[in-house]
Amino acid sequence: HKGVIKDSEFNRYSVTSNIEIDASEIFSFGTNLFARKTKQNGTKTQETGYYTPGVVSSAYKFMPTQGIRDANGNFSVSDRGDPIDNPYALATEWENESIQDLFQGNLYGEINILKDLKLRSSFGANISGARTGTFFPRTLERGGAADGEAWLGFSKNTDYLTEHYFTYTKNIAQI
Protein backbone atom coordinates (compact mmCIF):
# COMPACT_ATOMS: atom_id res chain seq x y z
CA HIS A 1 0.00 0.00 0.00
CA LYS A 2 1.26 3.45 -0.87
CA GLY A 3 2.24 5.67 2.01
CA VAL A 4 1.23 9.26 2.69
CA ILE A 5 4.64 10.63 1.65
CA LYS A 6 5.70 10.19 -1.98
CA ASP A 7 7.60 6.95 -2.74
CA SER A 8 6.77 5.31 0.60
CA GLU A 9 4.86 2.05 0.87
CA PHE A 10 4.22 -0.89 3.18
CA ASN A 11 3.01 -4.38 2.25
CA ARG A 12 2.21 -7.17 4.67
CA TYR A 13 1.09 -10.72 3.96
CA SER A 14 0.24 -13.18 6.71
CA VAL A 15 -1.50 -16.49 7.30
CA THR A 16 -2.60 -18.22 10.50
CA SER A 17 -3.74 -21.80 10.98
CA ASN A 18 -4.90 -23.61 14.13
CA ILE A 19 -5.80 -27.30 13.88
CA GLU A 20 -6.80 -29.66 16.69
CA ILE A 21 -7.68 -33.31 16.16
CA ASP A 22 -9.15 -35.70 18.71
CA ALA A 23 -7.66 -38.93 17.37
CA SER A 24 -9.24 -41.11 20.06
CA GLU A 25 -10.71 -40.87 23.55
CA ILE A 26 -7.24 -40.77 25.08
CA PHE A 27 -5.12 -38.97 22.44
CA SER A 28 -5.35 -35.59 20.72
CA PHE A 29 -2.86 -33.50 18.77
CA GLY A 30 -2.69 -30.27 16.87
CA THR A 31 -0.70 -27.45 15.39
CA ASN A 32 -0.64 -23.66 15.48
CA LEU A 33 1.09 -21.98 12.55
CA PHE A 34 1.71 -18.33 11.72
CA ALA A 35 3.71 -16.86 8.83
CA ARG A 36 4.23 -13.23 7.87
CA LYS A 37 6.21 -11.32 5.23
CA THR A 38 6.53 -7.55 5.17
CA LYS A 39 8.16 -5.25 2.67
CA GLN A 40 8.63 -1.57 3.34
CA ASN A 41 10.00 1.13 1.10
CA GLY A 42 10.59 3.79 3.66
CA THR A 43 10.86 7.52 3.46
CA LYS A 44 12.96 9.44 5.94
CA THR A 45 10.29 10.77 8.27
CA GLN A 46 12.02 10.61 11.63
CA GLU A 47 14.46 13.21 12.87
CA THR A 48 17.84 11.84 13.92
CA GLY A 49 19.29 15.18 14.95
CA TYR A 50 19.11 18.84 13.97
CA TYR A 51 21.26 18.40 10.85
CA THR A 52 19.49 15.27 9.56
CA PRO A 53 15.82 16.22 9.26
CA GLY A 54 13.20 14.05 7.62
CA VAL A 55 10.94 14.94 4.70
CA VAL A 56 8.33 16.82 6.74
CA SER A 57 10.87 18.81 8.73
CA SER A 58 12.84 19.60 5.57
CA ALA A 59 9.67 20.90 3.95
CA TYR A 60 9.21 23.30 6.88
CA LYS A 61 12.84 24.43 6.90
CA PHE A 62 13.48 24.64 3.14
CA MET A 63 13.11 28.09 1.62
CA PRO A 64 9.67 28.33 -0.01
CA THR A 65 11.05 30.57 -2.77
CA GLN A 66 13.29 27.80 -4.09
CA GLY A 67 11.97 25.37 -6.65
CA ILE A 68 12.46 21.62 -6.70
CA ARG A 69 15.19 21.96 -9.35
CA ASP A 70 17.71 24.70 -10.09
CA ALA A 71 18.42 26.30 -13.49
CA ASN A 72 20.72 23.38 -14.44
CA GLY A 73 18.04 20.75 -13.74
CA ASN A 74 19.68 19.54 -10.52
CA PHE A 75 17.80 19.35 -7.24
CA SER A 76 18.00 22.71 -5.58
CA VAL A 77 19.81 22.90 -2.25
CA SER A 78 19.29 25.21 0.69
CA ASP A 79 20.99 28.52 0.00
CA ARG A 80 20.49 29.97 3.49
CA GLY A 81 21.27 28.80 7.00
CA ASP A 82 21.91 25.19 7.86
CA PRO A 83 22.35 22.49 5.21
CA ILE A 84 18.80 21.24 4.63
CA ASP A 85 18.01 18.57 2.05
CA ASN A 86 15.55 19.38 -0.68
CA PRO A 87 12.40 17.69 0.70
CA TYR A 88 11.37 16.36 -2.72
CA ALA A 89 14.85 14.91 -3.31
CA LEU A 90 14.78 13.37 0.17
CA ALA A 91 11.39 11.75 -0.53
CA THR A 92 12.28 10.43 -4.00
CA GLU A 93 16.05 9.85 -4.00
CA TRP A 94 16.76 8.28 -0.58
CA GLU A 95 16.36 4.49 -0.71
CA ASN A 96 15.45 2.47 2.36
CA GLU A 97 14.03 -0.99 1.72
CA SER A 98 13.28 -3.43 4.51
CA ILE A 99 12.07 -7.02 4.05
CA GLN A 100 11.14 -9.15 7.06
CA ASP A 101 10.01 -12.76 7.34
CA LEU A 102 8.56 -14.51 10.37
CA PHE A 103 7.44 -18.10 10.90
CA GLN A 104 6.06 -19.40 14.19
CA GLY A 105 4.92 -22.98 14.55
CA ASN A 106 3.92 -25.29 17.34
CA LEU A 107 3.05 -29.01 17.29
CA TYR A 108 1.55 -30.66 20.33
CA GLY A 109 0.11 -33.93 21.52
CA GLU A 110 -1.93 -34.77 24.62
CA ILE A 111 -2.55 -38.19 26.08
CA ASN A 112 -4.84 -39.20 28.95
CA ILE A 113 -2.62 -41.55 30.94
CA LEU A 114 -5.13 -42.16 33.73
CA LYS A 115 -8.65 -40.91 34.42
CA ASP A 116 -7.39 -37.69 36.06
CA LEU A 117 -3.81 -37.49 34.67
CA LYS A 118 -2.81 -36.02 31.30
CA LEU A 119 0.56 -35.54 29.61
CA ARG A 120 0.93 -32.76 27.07
CA SER A 121 4.09 -32.35 25.00
CA SER A 122 4.81 -29.62 22.50
CA PHE A 123 7.57 -28.49 20.19
CA GLY A 124 7.70 -24.96 18.78
CA ALA A 125 9.90 -22.91 16.52
CA ASN A 126 10.22 -19.20 15.88
CA ILE A 127 12.25 -18.32 12.79
CA SER A 128 12.74 -14.73 11.67
CA GLY A 129 14.90 -12.94 9.16
CA ALA A 130 15.35 -9.38 7.97
CA ARG A 131 17.26 -7.47 5.33
CA THR A 132 17.56 -3.71 5.20
CA GLY A 133 19.25 -1.72 2.47
CA THR A 134 19.80 2.05 2.61
CA PHE A 135 21.27 4.41 0.03
CA PHE A 136 22.00 8.14 0.25
CA PRO A 137 22.79 9.42 -3.26
CA ARG A 138 25.02 12.41 -4.03
CA THR A 139 21.91 14.57 -4.43
CA LEU A 140 21.45 14.56 -0.62
CA GLU A 141 23.64 16.26 1.99
CA ARG A 142 24.71 13.00 3.63
CA GLY A 143 25.55 11.25 0.36
CA GLY A 144 27.14 14.26 -1.30
CA ALA A 145 30.12 14.37 1.03
CA ALA A 146 31.05 10.74 0.31
CA ASP A 147 30.03 10.50 -3.37
CA GLY A 148 27.05 8.42 -2.19
CA GLU A 149 26.64 6.20 0.85
CA ALA A 150 25.06 2.76 1.10
CA TRP A 151 24.82 -0.12 3.52
CA LEU A 152 23.09 -3.46 3.91
CA GLY A 153 22.06 -5.14 7.13
CA PHE A 154 21.00 -8.74 7.63
CA SER A 155 19.70 -10.70 10.59
CA LYS A 156 18.41 -14.20 11.15
CA ASN A 157 17.13 -15.68 14.38
CA THR A 158 15.90 -19.18 15.21
CA ASP A 159 14.47 -20.24 18.57
CA TYR A 160 13.16 -23.65 19.58
CA LEU A 161 11.05 -24.54 22.58
CA THR A 162 9.91 -27.90 23.82
CA GLU A 163 7.57 -28.36 26.78
CA HIS A 164 6.32 -31.46 28.59
CA TYR A 165 3.93 -31.20 31.48
CA PHE A 166 1.50 -33.28 33.46
CA THR A 167 -1.93 -32.10 34.56
CA TYR A 168 -3.70 -33.82 37.42
CA THR A 169 -7.34 -32.85 37.90
CA LYS A 170 -9.27 -34.35 40.76
CA ASN A 171 -12.58 -33.20 42.21
CA ILE A 172 -12.21 -33.67 45.95
CA ALA A 173 -15.65 -32.51 47.05
CA GLN A 174 -18.72 -30.88 45.57
CA ILE A 175 -19.40 -27.48 47.03
- Looking at the chain, the whole-number percentage of residues with pLDDT higher than 70 is 93
Q: Give the CA diameter of the chain.
A: 91
- What are the pLDDT tens digits along the chain (175 aa)? 566 677 778 899 999 999 999 999 999 999 999 999 999 887 776 666 555 677 877 877 788 888 888 888 888 877 777 777 888 888 888 888 999 999 999 999 999 999 899 999 999 999 999 999 999 898 888 888 788 999 999 999 999 999 999 999 988 888 7
- pTM here is 0.73
